[in-house]
Structure 1
Protein backbone atom coordinates (compact mmCIF):
# COMPACT_ATOMS: atom_id res chain seq x y z
CA UNK A 1 0.00 0.00 0.00
CA UNK A 2 1.21 3.53 -0.70
CA UNK A 3 0.70 4.86 2.80
CA UNK A 4 3.48 7.17 3.83
CA UNK A 5 4.29 8.60 7.17
CA UNK A 6 4.46 12.37 7.39
CA UNK A 7 7.97 13.55 6.65
CA UNK A 8 8.62 17.22 7.44
CA UNK A 9 11.40 17.23 4.84
CA UNK A 10 8.94 16.40 2.10
CA UNK A 11 7.29 18.98 -0.06
CA UNK A 12 4.25 16.92 -1.08
CA UNK A 13 1.04 18.93 -1.41
CA UNK A 14 -2.32 17.47 -0.46
CA UNK A 15 -3.95 15.52 -3.30
CA UNK A 16 -7.04 16.75 -5.10
CA UNK A 17 -9.92 14.50 -6.15
CA UNK A 18 -13.14 14.64 -8.14
CA UNK A 19 -15.71 11.95 -8.74
CA UNK A 20 -18.68 11.54 -11.02
CA UNK A 21 -21.23 8.75 -10.77
CA UNK A 22 -23.79 7.33 -13.10
CA UNK A 23 -25.78 4.12 -12.88
CA UNK A 24 -23.83 2.65 -9.95
CA UNK A 25 -20.46 3.40 -11.54
CA UNK A 26 -17.88 6.01 -10.65
CA UNK A 27 -15.19 7.82 -12.55
CA UNK A 28 -12.44 9.41 -10.47
CA UNK A 29 -9.91 12.12 -11.22
CA UNK A 30 -6.92 12.58 -8.91
CA UNK A 31 -4.23 15.24 -8.87
CA UNK A 32 -1.16 14.34 -6.85
CA UNK A 33 2.45 15.13 -6.13
CA UNK A 34 4.68 12.08 -6.25
CA UNK A 35 7.82 11.58 -4.20
CA UNK A 36 11.11 11.76 -6.06
CA UNK A 37 12.92 9.54 -6.76
CA UNK A 38 10.25 7.00 -7.63
CA UNK A 39 9.27 4.64 -10.42
CA UNK A 40 6.57 6.94 -11.80
CA UNK A 41 4.78 4.37 -13.98
CA UNK A 42 4.65 1.70 -11.26
CA UNK A 43 3.67 4.17 -8.55
CA UNK A 44 0.91 5.60 -10.74
CA UNK A 45 -0.57 2.19 -11.59
CA UNK A 46 -0.44 1.11 -7.95
CA UNK A 47 -2.10 4.33 -6.80
CA UNK A 48 -4.89 3.98 -9.39
CA UNK A 49 -5.55 0.35 -8.35
CA UNK A 50 -5.55 1.10 -4.64
CA UNK A 51 -7.86 4.11 -4.97
CA UNK A 52 -10.29 2.18 -7.21
CA UNK A 53 -10.34 -0.79 -4.81
CA UNK A 54 -10.86 1.36 -1.74
CA UNK A 55 -13.64 3.47 -3.29
CA UNK A 56 -15.39 0.27 -4.43
CA UNK A 57 -15.13 -1.24 -0.93
CA UNK A 58 -16.35 1.94 0.79
CA UNK A 59 -19.16 2.87 -1.59
CA UNK A 60 -20.14 -0.30 -3.43
CA UNK A 61 -19.75 1.59 -6.71
CA UNK A 62 -17.87 0.05 -9.61
CA UNK A 63 -14.95 2.33 -10.43
CA UNK A 64 -14.63 2.49 -14.20
CA UNK A 65 -11.71 4.84 -14.48
CA UNK A 66 -9.15 6.60 -12.30
CA UNK A 67 -7.53 9.45 -14.20
CA UNK A 68 -4.30 10.49 -12.54
CA UNK A 69 -2.66 13.86 -13.05
CA UNK A 70 0.82 14.18 -11.61
CA UNK A 71 1.13 17.80 -10.55
CA UNK A 72 4.84 17.54 -9.83
CA UNK A 73 7.63 15.41 -8.41
CA UNK A 74 8.77 16.43 -4.94
CA UNK A 75 12.04 15.55 -3.26
CA UNK A 76 11.46 13.49 -0.14
CA UNK A 77 13.81 12.64 2.71
CA UNK A 78 17.10 14.24 2.00
CA UNK A 79 18.95 17.46 1.58
CA UNK A 80 17.61 19.83 -1.01
CA UNK A 81 20.07 20.60 -3.76
CA UNK A 82 20.64 24.24 -4.54
CA UNK A 83 21.80 25.55 -7.89
Structure 2
Protein backbone atom coordinates (compact mmCIF):
# COMPACT_ATOMS: atom_id res chain seq x y z
CA UNK A 1 0.00 0.00 0.00
CA UNK A 2 0.99 3.54 -0.68
CA UNK A 3 1.29 6.10 2.07
CA UNK A 4 -1.60 8.58 2.10
CA UNK A 5 -0.87 11.53 -0.14
CA UNK A 6 2.10 9.84 -1.86
CA UNK A 7 2.02 10.04 -5.64
CA UNK A 8 2.69 6.94 -7.69
CA UNK A 9 6.07 6.97 -9.40
CA UNK A 10 6.21 6.56 -13.15
CA UNK A 11 7.05 2.97 -14.20
CA UNK A 12 10.52 3.95 -15.42
CA UNK A 13 11.33 5.51 -12.05
CA UNK A 14 10.14 2.59 -9.92
CA UNK A 15 12.84 0.27 -11.18
CA UNK A 16 12.63 -3.06 -12.98
CA UNK A 17 12.40 -6.72 -12.21
CA UNK A 18 15.34 -8.95 -13.12
CA UNK A 19 14.69 -12.68 -13.17
CA UNK A 20 17.81 -14.78 -12.62
CA UNK A 21 18.76 -17.26 -15.33
CA UNK A 22 18.52 -20.12 -12.84
CA UNK A 23 14.86 -19.22 -12.22
CA UNK A 24 14.06 -19.57 -15.92
CA UNK A 25 15.96 -22.87 -15.94
CA UNK A 26 14.06 -24.25 -12.94
CA UNK A 27 10.69 -23.33 -14.41
CA UNK A 28 11.64 -24.92 -17.74
CA UNK A 29 13.00 -28.01 -15.98
CA UNK A 30 9.76 -28.47 -14.05
CA UNK A 31 7.72 -28.16 -17.26
CA UNK A 32 9.90 -30.76 -19.00
CA UNK A 33 9.63 -33.16 -16.05
CA UNK A 34 5.84 -32.85 -16.08
CA UNK A 35 5.67 -33.81 -19.75
CA UNK A 36 8.18 -36.63 -19.36
CA UNK A 37 6.31 -38.05 -16.35
CA UNK A 38 3.30 -38.50 -18.65
CA UNK A 39 5.47 -39.98 -21.42
CA UNK A 40 7.23 -42.51 -19.18
CA UNK A 41 4.12 -43.52 -17.17
CA UNK A 42 3.51 -47.26 -17.32
CA UNK A 43 6.96 -48.10 -18.67
CA UNK A 44 9.40 -50.27 -16.75
CA UNK A 45 12.43 -48.60 -18.39
CA UNK A 46 12.84 -44.83 -18.12
CA UNK A 47 15.25 -42.31 -19.60
CA UNK A 48 17.79 -40.21 -17.75
CA UNK A 49 16.73 -36.87 -16.23
CA UNK A 50 16.53 -33.98 -18.70
CA UNK A 51 19.17 -31.28 -18.96
CA UNK A 52 17.91 -27.71 -19.35
CA UNK A 53 19.94 -24.60 -20.16
CA UNK A 54 18.78 -21.06 -20.82
CA UNK A 55 20.13 -17.92 -22.42
CA UNK A 56 18.64 -14.51 -21.80
CA UNK A 57 19.71 -12.20 -24.62
CA UNK A 58 18.00 -8.91 -23.84
CA UNK A 59 14.32 -9.16 -23.07
CA UNK A 60 13.69 -12.71 -24.34
CA UNK A 61 14.56 -16.20 -23.17
CA UNK A 62 16.00 -19.06 -25.23
CA UNK A 63 15.70 -22.55 -23.76
CA UNK A 64 17.60 -25.71 -24.74
CA UNK A 65 16.30 -29.04 -23.47
CA UNK A 66 18.23 -32.32 -23.84
CA UNK A 67 16.07 -35.39 -23.22
CA UNK A 68 15.90 -39.13 -23.61
CA UNK A 69 12.63 -40.34 -25.13
CA UNK A 70 10.95 -43.74 -25.44
CA UNK A 71 11.02 -45.62 -28.72
CA UNK A 72 8.75 -46.32 -30.46
CA UNK A 73 6.79 -43.11 -29.92
CA UNK A 74 5.60 -40.02 -31.77
CA UNK A 75 8.88 -38.15 -31.39
CA UNK A 76 7.74 -35.07 -33.30
CA UNK A 77 4.61 -34.87 -31.17
CA UNK A 78 6.59 -35.28 -27.95
CA UNK A 79 9.05 -32.57 -28.99
CA UNK A 80 6.18 -30.24 -29.91
CA UNK A 81 4.53 -30.90 -26.54
CA UNK A 82 7.77 -30.14 -24.72
CA UNK A 83 8.27 -26.89 -26.66
CA UNK A 84 4.71 -25.75 -26.02
CA UNK A 85 4.68 -26.58 -22.29
CA UNK A 86 8.09 -25.04 -21.61
CA UNK A 87 7.28 -21.88 -23.57
CA UNK A 88 3.88 -21.46 -21.93
CA UNK A 89 5.13 -22.01 -18.37
CA UNK A 90 8.21 -19.81 -18.64
CA UNK A 91 6.25 -16.97 -20.27
CA UNK A 92 3.27 -17.41 -17.97
CA UNK A 93 5.23 -17.39 -14.73
CA UNK A 94 7.79 -14.72 -15.58
CA UNK A 95 6.08 -12.52 -18.14
CA UNK A 96 9.15 -12.84 -20.35
CA UNK A 97 8.80 -13.68 -24.03
CA UNK A 98 10.30 -17.06 -24.98
CA UNK A 99 11.92 -16.65 -28.37
CA UNK A 100 13.00 -20.27 -28.83
CA UNK A 101 12.74 -23.68 -27.22
CA UNK A 102 15.13 -26.22 -28.75
CA UNK A 103 14.53 -29.87 -27.92
CA UNK A 104 17.52 -32.17 -28.46
CA UNK A 105 16.82 -35.89 -28.29
CA UNK A 106 20.01 -37.32 -26.81
CA UNK A 107 18.92 -40.95 -26.80
CA UNK A 108 15.98 -43.20 -27.70
CA UNK A 109 15.21 -45.74 -25.00
CA UNK A 110 13.65 -49.05 -25.98
CA UNK A 111 11.98 -51.55 -23.72
CA UNK A 112 9.19 -51.47 -21.22
CA UNK A 113 5.48 -51.70 -21.81
CA UNK A 114 3.81 -49.10 -23.99
TM-score scaled by structure 2? 0.59
Greater helix content: 2
The equivalent of 2:85 in structure 1 is: 50
Please tell me whether Structure 1 or Structure 2 has the larger radius of gyration of its CA atoms.
2
Cα distance in 1 for residues equivalent to 2:111 and 2:59: 38
Cα distance in 1 for residues equivalent to 2:69 and 2:57: 30
Cα distance in 1 for residues equivalent to 2:86 and 2:111: 22
Instruction: Report how many residues are paired.
Output: 78
Greater strand content: 1
The equivalent of 2:48 in structure 1 is: 13
Unaligned runs of 5+ residues in structure 2 are 1-33
In the superposition, relative to structure 1, how do residues 8 and 42 fare at CA in structure 2: closer, same or farther (>3 Å)?
closer
Q: In terms of mean alpha carbon deviation, does 63-72 or 7-16 score higher? A: 7-16
Cα distance in 2 for residues equivalent to 1:41 and 1:18: 21
Given candidates 26, 29, 40, the residue that maps to 2:64 is: 29
Unaligned runs of 5+ residues in structure 1 are 79-83
Greater relative contact order (Cα 8 A, min sep 6): structure 1 or 2?
Answer: 1
Cα distance in 2 for residues equivalent to 1:67 and 1:55: 14
CA RMSD of aligned residues (A): 2.1
Name segments (4+ residues, structure 1) moved above 6 Å. Answer: none
The equivalent of 1:81 in structure 2 is: none
